[in-house]
Amino acid sequence: MTDRDKEVTKKLEDVGKQLLSQIDKSQSPSYEIPVRTLNNIFFDKKSGTIKLGDKMSERQFLNIAHSRRFMQTVLVASEIKKVIESQATVSIRDLYYALKHTIEGTQENTFEDQGESDPCIEDIEASLDLLREELHLAASAKGIIAGDVQLKDGKDTIDLTKMGSGGWSVPSNVEPNQIEFKKMNAEFLLFIEKDAVWRRFNEDQFWKKHNCIILTGRGQPGRGERRMAQRLNKEFGLPLYVLCDADPWGMYIYSVIKQGSISLSYSEEKLATPSAKFIGLTTRDVEAFKIPKEVTIKLNQLDAKRLKEMEGYEWFQKKEWKEEFANMKAKAYKLELEALSKKGIRFITETYVPQKIKNEEFLP
């Protein structure tokens, strides 16, 4: 067991000891967890990340409104401890099925569905200041990466220059005790929203020509990709540029990479990269790069609603973002990264991104 695993196990044991001590004193077993509702979440301007406030709630075993969730959380914590001690890693789905059963002598199930077990995991993460991956819980691999990087994944040495057209699949756990960087030859990291666009950059060997790393979360990025980007930025000082569609959804993905998400506010210090820059796409690029208007897409009601929500977010209040949102509303259109193919199949890799980086044409 690694030193970090020992630290995590001790945190779980301490919770158990606290509950036993309360029982020994004939007290109602209880524990505190951070309140994870919207009114306890704020944007910290100093760190540039979305954070959880300091409001706490007490969950009590003898409170009928709390007892089911109380027992479920203790059950999840106990199983996690067993998983860590066995030096295994399981999916959150595996964990749910391992714990789901009908309690003997009753008609009550420990869990009715995964929607009950997942929040227990999040409560444990938030209350113990741990990432899910540190609890030996994993999600399916989603992201892909390529570049002049060598790393160790457990006992295996991986060379990211030799992963072919498919790239290397980023695991959900990229913590230092699992992923160790051995060689790094890159000047910046390009985080690309879409899988198809990433494949264009990989096929054109953009990472080799521009001495960089290319990474995609294939849509909304998972924790593994976000943590990987943060580590590369913090440990090696690599500037992080984000390339997304010119629509409210792509721009929100950028904000999740940069500031973090509301739903994961309790762990954003370990996931967000506040120094990230938005390289594009923007609605102003239509005129700047003479992109044909026929490839633009009309904003629909859902787009307009999402845009209005984003205009209210504190982290989108800088002048440049206000101007971009105003222009999007005035033009009433959006466009996808693939629209740049109208200018040529390699326009995005040979002209658009290199020019944006050279001229430092970023949104904050």
DSSP per residue, 50-102:
EEE-S-EEEEETT-TTTHHHHHHHHHHHHHHHHHHHTT--EEHHHHHHHH--B
Q: In this structure, what token pair is assigned to residue 16?
A: 């158990």
First to last CA, the chain: 42
Residue 363 within a domain: no
- Helices H, strands E: what count in the chain? 13, 17
203 lies in the same domain as 232? yes
Q: Which of 87, 89, 81 is nearest to 10 (CA)?
A: 81
Q: Are residues 224 and 238 in the same domain?
A: yes
Q: Where are the alpha helices (DSSP H) in the chain?
A: 3-24, 67-85, 92-99, 114-128, 195-203, 206-209, 223-236, 248-258, 285-288, 301-311, 319-331, 347, 353-358
**What pLDDT does residue 277 have?**
98
**Same-domain status, 157 and 290:** yes
The whole-angstrom separation of Cα 73 and Cα 223 is 22
User: Of 108, 138, 168, which one is at a domain's C-terminal end?
Assistant: 138
4-to-1, 84, 185 alpha-carbon distances in Å: 8, 11, 28
Q: Report yes or no: 152 and 158 within 8 Å, Cβ to Cβ.
A: yes
Report the pLDDT value the prediction gives residue 177, as an integer from 0 to 100: 86
CB neighbours (10 Å) of residue 96? Answer: 22
Residue keyed to tokens 């992923």:
179
Domain holding 190: CATH number? 3.40.1360.10
Question: Do both 105 and 191 map to the same domain?
Answer: no
* Residues carrying an active site annotation: 97
Find the CATH number of the domain harbouring 131.
1.10.10.10
What residue type is 111 in one-letter code? F
State whether 124 and 161 are in the same domain.
no
Compute how many other C-beta atoms are within 10 angstroms of the C-beta atom of residue 219.
Answer: 14
Specify whether 115 is located in the same domain as 183. no
Q: How many CA within 13 A on the CB side of residue 1?
A: 18
Domain hosting 70: range is 3-138
pLDDT at 142: 87
Reading the block at residue 85, the tokens are 């001690």
Predicted pLDDT of residue 139 = 81
**pLDDT, mean of each 10-residue run, the chain (364 residues):** 92 96 94 90 92 93 94 96 95 95 92 94 93 89 94 94 94 91 97 97 97 95 95 98 97 96 87 96 94 94 94 93 96 95 96 97 94
What is the distance between the alpha carbons of residues 281 and 133, in angstroms, rounded to a whole number?
Answer: 32
Question: Backbone phi, then psi, for 77, in 5-degree steps?
Answer: -60, -40
- Reading the block at residue 74, the tokens are 């203790």
